Amino acid sequence: MEAETKGVVIKTEKTLIDEEIARVNRELNELGDTGQEFASSAKQGKRNNVDLSKELNLQATPQLIEEPVFLTPTQIKTVKRDLSQVIKSGIHLLDKRIMGFNKGELSVWSGSNGSGKSSILSQLAIESIENNFKVALYSGELRADRVLNWVQLQAAGIKNVTGTKYENFYTVPEGIRAKINEWLESSLYIYNNDYGARVENVLKAVTDSIEKFKIDVVIIDNLMSLDLTGVTGEKYDKQTNLVIALSQLAKKKNIHIHFVAHPRKSLGFLRKQDISGTADITNLADNVFLIHRCNTDFKKGIMEHLGVNKDNLLLKFDNVIEVAKNRDLGIADEFIGAYYEKESKRFLNSIGEEKHYFWERDKNGFIGADNTEIPFKN
């Protein structure tokens, strides 16, 4: 009798559970798409230990091939490099040293606070667009409108910005902003931070944008702003999982990814090993760049560590881009100077350099110039 009673109780509990599941399903069906989105969101909220490579379907699919495992020189096909697909930085010496940024590669950028990381990356976005490449940009620290303001200043240049009563705050006139936005409209895609910073969601949005908008360049600024709680492993395992996924994404989608990782320390002479997180971040990257601001700490550090004397021309610049690693050409420990223009937030090759982007061209492809820009005039 006792066993029968237990059997009845168990059956009753199961029935109640089934009825509750059926009720929830009915409510979700009544809600339609909204309910489905809610259910999907709830499911994602419970998800743990995500393997980003599997989540984004980045792992290589095994294929049966009828070729030798090891190839002799005559069996290896020569692949001619398509230089039209190398993405220039616009920093002349940097492009001369590394040719530009190759598709299928991952670049890691680091630098102390105020060194110019965000400035150089947004400028790289503009340069990419100027050369007919499309860009997707994630900034975990700035809202989309702030990112766009930054880009507009750099695209406008010093002659097209307006000062304010605040020393370091400049704006772009409405008419010029409209022209710049029209130029950028189908080439620049800025992530909407209202969708959150969970890394699996951000990277899923990025991969979708690559397919939908034919993206060539992805900028992710930065590691510390991404929520890695749902990723497999402990702290450093999570970071490795992320960098592996970024490297695989760059190769599988044939794009270039720029990824920002902050340094562990903000003072002194920054070196590659000072980049915060696992060593896999720099080991897996194809390129590693350090952005230095030519302040007292940098000047002291470069003289002490590299034997540079105080009269070295490198110390005359406002910022220095260090190529700490370039796997393609084997470049390392190369220092490239640049001047910083605070009004436009541009990095310049020379003091007073004026670069005109495509938005300034008229319908015939010409760029207007005032008398000060005409080298020969009566």
The pLDDT of residue 215 is above 90: yes
| Residue 82 pLDDT grade (very low, low, confident, very high; cuts 50, 70, 90) | confident
Quick one: CA dihedral 346, 347, 352, 355, positive or negative?
negative
In the structure, what pLDDT confidence band is assigned to residue 67 with cuts at 50, 70 and 90? Answer: confident
In this prediction, residue 366 carries a pLDDT of 67
- From CA 9, how far away is CA 15, in angstroms rounded? 10
The single-letter DSSP state of residue 367 is B
**pLDDT on residue 3:** 45
Helix segments in the chain, DSSP class H? 2-31, 33-46, 52-55, 92-98, 117-130, 144-156, 174-184, 199-213, 235-253, 280-284, 296-306
pLDDT tens figures, 13-40 = 555 556 655 665 555 455 444 444 434 4
What the block records as the tokens of 16 is 């109640």
**Contact indicator for 338, 348 with CB cutoff of 8 Å:** yes
Residue 101 pLDDT greater than 80, yes or no: yes
Domain boundaries, the chain: 1-36, 86-363
Q: Output the pLDDT for position 16.
A: 54
82: helix, strand or coil = coil
Contact 283, 243 (CB under 8 A): no
Q: Which amino acid is at 241?
A: N
| Confidence band, pLDDT 50/70/90 cuts, at residue 238 | very high
Q: Does residue 304 surpass a pLDDT of 80? A: yes
Q: Is the pLDDT of residue 262 over 80?
A: yes
CA 297/CA 337 separation, integer angstroms: 16
Which two structure tokens, joined as six digits, stand for 322?
């260090």
**Residue-level pLDDT at 168:** 87
Under 8 Å between Cβ of 231 and 199: yes
Q: Which CATH class name applies to 86-363?
A: alpha beta
pTM above 0.85, yes or no: no
Tokens representing residue 172 in the block: 């772009």
Mean pLDDT value across the chain = 86
The angle that helices 235-253 and 199-213 make with each other, rounded to 10 degrees, is 10
Give 225's DSSP letter: G
Residue 325: strand pairing partners: 288
Q: If you search the block for the tokens 């194809």, which residue do you land on?
A: 286
